[in-house]
Amino acid sequence: MPVRKALGEVRLAGLSAGLPSRLVGLVLLWHIAGCASQVSEPPAAKRASGIYHVVKPGENLFRIGKAYDLSYAELARVNRLRDSSRIRVGQRLFIPGAVRQLPVETITPNDSVQALPAAPETNEPARGGFVWPIAGGVSSHFGPRGSSFHDGIDIAAEEGTPIMAIEKGEVIYSDRLRGYGNLVILRHAGGLVSVYGHNHANLVRQGQLVSQGEVIAKVGSTGRVSGPHLHLEIRQNNVAQDPLLYLPGLCCRQSLDEVAPKS
């Protein structure tokens, strides 16, 4: 029965019973409260899942999108930005699908270059050089890849293969990241950083100091990949470099795309 009709009948019943008008009013108020408690409010509009990222110095839409595995065009559309090149420090950008704010400066390079790396600026004695993180062939090189740019190299290996630190350093990131999967980032002397992605498991924690050759993770296929391998990046002053310019010469270690097919 409609609420208005029911309240009308309550009022008539009260008056016909000889109740004072004031008592009838109290009865009506009681019925109104009871009816209101039974009427459920319409559910609030479901808000799209995501978080707000606060822009920090040195960040741009491309780097923010790379960190959250979104295109800068999609970020511009979602945030209704007419000019994707103009964002300001302190600005809040909605990141759909994200669950926490990420350290963009730490996990994404400024740019990619193909020039020879500059010599590290350090007061430490000359180092013996880097070591390979795993034994395996290079399945994908540094440089342009279709319409995008590959910031490192991919080294083929079996799932679970131990991954070693290419140089001593400090763990500045050890967590899961969309696109990269399980990711470890080490900071070394001279403004150098090494990045290890798609790991089956990370074996170190943020803030931990590691030695050269220490096992820091295991090869996996987490993130956006088609099979198990290690994605390795080396950055100089947060600019991606070709890791093959830093690692020991391939010697007998052939790149997979240089191996002649079996007859």
Which residues form the domain of 155? Answer: 138-258
Distances (CA, A) of 112 to 109, 120, 143, 242: 7, 17, 8, 9
The verdict on pTM exceeding 0.75 is no
Same domain? For 232 and 162 the reply is yes
Same domain? For 142 and 98 the reply is no
Sequence-distant (6+) residues with CB within 8 A of 226 are none
Same domain? For 146 and 83 the reply is no
CATH classification at residue 214 = 2.70.70.10
Same domain? For 65 and 169 the reply is no
**Interhelix angle for 21-38 vs 3-16, to 10°?**
160
**pLDDT, averaged across the chain:** 79
pLDDT band at residue 36, thresholds of 50, 70 and 90? very low
- pLDDT higher than 60, residue 258: no
Domain count for the chain: 2
pLDDT at residue 20, as a whole number: 61
Q: Which amino acid is at 63?
A: R
pLDDT at residue 76, as a whole number: 93
Same domain? For 80 and 178 the reply is no
151: left (phi over 0), alpha (psi -120 to 50) or beta: alpha
Distances (CA, A) of 227 to 220, 231, 259: 8, 11, 19
Same domain? For 155 and 97 the reply is no
Indicate the Cα dihedral angle 192, 238, 196, 104, nearest 10°.
Answer: 140
Does residue 110 fall inside a structural domain? no
pLDDT band at residue 176, thresholds of 50, 70 and 90? very high
Question: Averaged over 47-70, what is the pLDDT?
Answer: 88
- pLDDT higher than 80, residue 33: no
Does residue 95 fall inside a structural domain? yes
Same domain? For 194 and 245 the reply is yes
What tokens does 203 get? 């074996």
Same domain? For 248 and 168 the reply is yes
Same domain? For 165 and 97 the reply is no
pLDDT at residue 8, as a whole number: 56
Same domain? For 224 and 166 the reply is yes
Same domain? For 168 and 89 the reply is no
- pLDDT higher than 60, residue 35: no
CATH classification at residue 91 = 3.10.350.10
The pLDDT tens digits for 111-158 are 644 444 444 443 333 344 899 999 999 999 998 888 788 999 999 999
Does residue 207 fall inside a structural domain? yes
With pLDDT > 90 as the criterion, what percentage of the chain qualifies?
52
